[in-house]
Structure 1
Amino acid sequence: MKTMVFLGLSLSMQASFAQSTNKLPAPTVDGIEFPAGYQDWKLISVTNRDDNKTLRAVLGNDAAIKAIEEGKTNPWPDGAALGKIVWKKEKDPHWPTADVPGKFVHAEFMFKDSKKWADTHGWGWARWVGMEQKPFADAKGSAHASCIACHTPVKNQDWVFHKPALLPSRLP
């Protein structure tokens, strides 16, 4: 719970920072625009990666949330966008058994458009690195190849690792 509160605070602080500078990061070399307002997307899941010691919040835009509600995530519909906000993992100084977000690493996104990105499995892949949000490009000058290589184990899940975290139903 403490981690979720901290994630919420971190996202709010990022939103405030982005709004105060009022300047979006540059597009990727593939021409993918940074998603303005992603901080208002809904939380889908959270992850903890032991291999690189990071914590991640997985977010979805309105189209992704609608797809989840309708059970239409394999394949995801065109217009769905998923974001992953990544921090280095740190120990909470007041609760040593808890991991909390530390240094911001990057924000990465998947944008579904089966026609526009037909050659990359229907997804536009993008990553912006560091607090300065520099567009990422791999050795080939794109984010697509490295993202696809990593996501290949879940190609049967429409290239998406994370399934939405379940919550209790809303009471009437």
Structure 2
Amino acid sequence: MDIRKSLVSALVVAASGAASAADSPHEASHSIAYPAGWQNWSTIGVSHRTDNNTLRVILGNEIAVAAARAGQTNPWPDGAILGKVVWKDTELANWKAATAPGAFVHAEFMFRDSAKYADTYGWGWARWVGLEQKAFNEGPQVCIACHTPVKDRDWVFTDPATFPAMVPASE
């Protein structure tokens, strides 16, 4: 359990400042504009892919976070944007039992708009690669093919993490 807590903490900290290159304009990906300010979005979940040794933080805009916290994710509401920030998994030199984000791989996004993206199952798909955030434009079918196993989950792999309820501050 301590390893999972450490992983979550490391990923959340890394997600808050990983893409400083996002301060400049970027080319559109699949005709979708780069989502400004995503580095400040809240965390919805984390994942570790053992098949390609990557760590991921799944972020969301306010609409996506509210839906995740309310359990309203199948389908996700229109206006929700999910972001997945990906790093290579790296063993920590001073703590062999833990891993942390290494080289930045990419940031990819799903934009929910059931009318605008009706031809792609209600989602706009976009990805920007590397710290320079170069647009990935191989076509949304690449994304859809990967997400087909979760089509019955509104095309989303992520299970939102459980967060404790907020307690109002004492006055």
The AA in structure 1 aligned to 2:91 is K
8 Å CA contact 2:44–2:60 kept in 1: the answer is yes
Deviation string 1:25-58 (CA, Å, 9 cap, x unpaired) is: 2111x21011000011110110000110100000
The AA in structure 2 aligned to 1:2 is S
Tell me the CA shift for residue 97 of structure 1.
1.3
Deviation string 1:69-108 (CA, Å, 9 cap, x unpaired) is: 3322111111000000000000011101111100000000
Tell me the CA shift for residue 2 of structure 1.
3.0
Distance 2:99 2:110 in 1: 26
Structure 1: state its 5+ residue gaps: none
Q: Which residue of 2 aligns with 1:44?
A: 44
Q: CA RMSD in A?
A: 1.5
* 1:1-172 superposed matches below 5 A: 1-14=5-18, 17-18=20-21, 22-28=23-29, 30-138=30-138, 142=139, 144-172=140-168
8 Å CA contact 1:105–1:131 kept in 2: the answer is yes
Distance 1:66 1:13 in 2: 23
8 Å CA contact 2:53–2:88 kept in 1: the answer is yes
8 Å CA contact 1:45–1:164 kept in 2: the answer is yes
Query: What secondary structure sits across from 2:18 in the alignment?
Result: helix
Number of aligned positions between the proteins: 164
Q: TM-score, normalised by structure 1?
A: 0.89
8 Å CA contact 1:18–1:24 kept in 2: the answer is no
Q: TM-score, normalised by structure 2?
A: 0.89
